[in-house]
Amino acid sequence: MDLHSNDMDVLTTLASAEPVPDVSTSEAGEVGENAAAAAFGAPVAAAETALQELCERAGKNLARADLRISAEFDDVMPQVYAAIVSLEESGSCEAFLAARGIKTHGNVRNAVSPVLRALANTKHKHMRAWLAKYACVIALARREGISPNEFLGWRKSVTVEEACKKWRELQRAQDGLEQEVADTSTFRKLQSAWERATDEEQSTFLAQNNLVRCD
């Protein structure tokens, strides 16, 4: 086989090039963590690594007692809470979700849930169920103004079930308040429209709806 001078130059360059070093899984994880730290801060990177390792480890052994999984979640939750507080206070939640490929919609019930899913990056249904519970715990702590330094002590004072129950009660109360506000707003609009209507328009409306004026 005849080689042109250009071909010989390419072969010479390839032969003299330094070999590409192998990157271990742990080193790749460190690279990812460093990138996350650069983009969103060290607390986010540390929480992301710890939570993903937990979900991967626990997800492979779903036969373990829930109590054991709960204890492991409790171990990493202070880190996760600090990360979420950091993202919220820096206004980086949307950027973080976009960077992790998480899409949100307008009717998200708990704003913590998508952020927690992004940090965990797990497809294990069992783990995602636990994440949903802890999203309620974290949302309640945020609502009550708990700082990252206070979170561990606060968490010891309330169980996951108690926190979830209280959060759901707060959500129902909020829903009721929003509905009341919406109903009041609708009533005021109707009242305003009625007051602007002429006597003839009012009479026509009453007739069309089989209503009787009660002045």
pLDDT digits (tens, 9 = 90+) for 130-153: 888 899 999 999 999 999 999 999
pLDDT computed for residue 65 by the predictor? 46
pLDDT score at 11 = 36
Residue 115 lies in a domain: yes
Domain contains 201: no
| Band (78; pLDDT cuts 50, 70, 90) | very high
Q: Is residue 114 part of a domain?
A: yes
Contacts of residue 31, defined as CB under 8 A and 6 or more positions apart, other chains included, come to: 23
Evaluate whether residue 136 is within a structural domain.
yes
Amino acid at 214: C
Q: Is the pLDDT of residue 111 over 60?
A: yes
Range of weakest confidence among 3-12, 67-76, 102-111:
3-12
CA distance 17 to 19: 6
What pLDDT score does 23 carry? 38
Q: Is residue 134 part of a domain?
A: yes
209 occurs within a structural domain = no
CA 160 – CA 164 distance, rounded (Å) = 6
Look at 27-31, 77-81, 203-207 and tell me which has the smallest mean pLDDT.
27-31
Asked if residue 170 lies in contact with residue 143, where contact means CB atoms within 8 angstroms, the answer is yes
Q: Distance between CA atoms of 98 and 119, rounded to whole angstroms? A: 12
* Cβ atoms < 10 Å from Cβ of 60: 9
Q: Which range marks the domain in which residue 145 is found?
A: 32-158
Domain count, the chain: 1
Q: Which of 61-65, 105-109, 111-115 has the lowest mean pLDDT?
A: 61-65
| Whether 140 contacts 166, CB under 8 Å | yes
| Cα–Cα distance for residue pair 156/101, rounded to 1 Å | 33
State the amino acid at position 66 in one-letter form.
Answer: D
Residues counted in the chain = 215
Q: Does residue 23 sit within a domain? A: no
Q: What is the pLDDT of residue 138?
A: 93
| Backbone angle region of 83, left / alpha / beta, with phi > 0 → left and psi within -120 to 50 → alpha | alpha
Residue 1 has pLDDT above 50, yes or no: no
Which position has the higher pLDDT, 191 or 92?
92
14: in domain: no
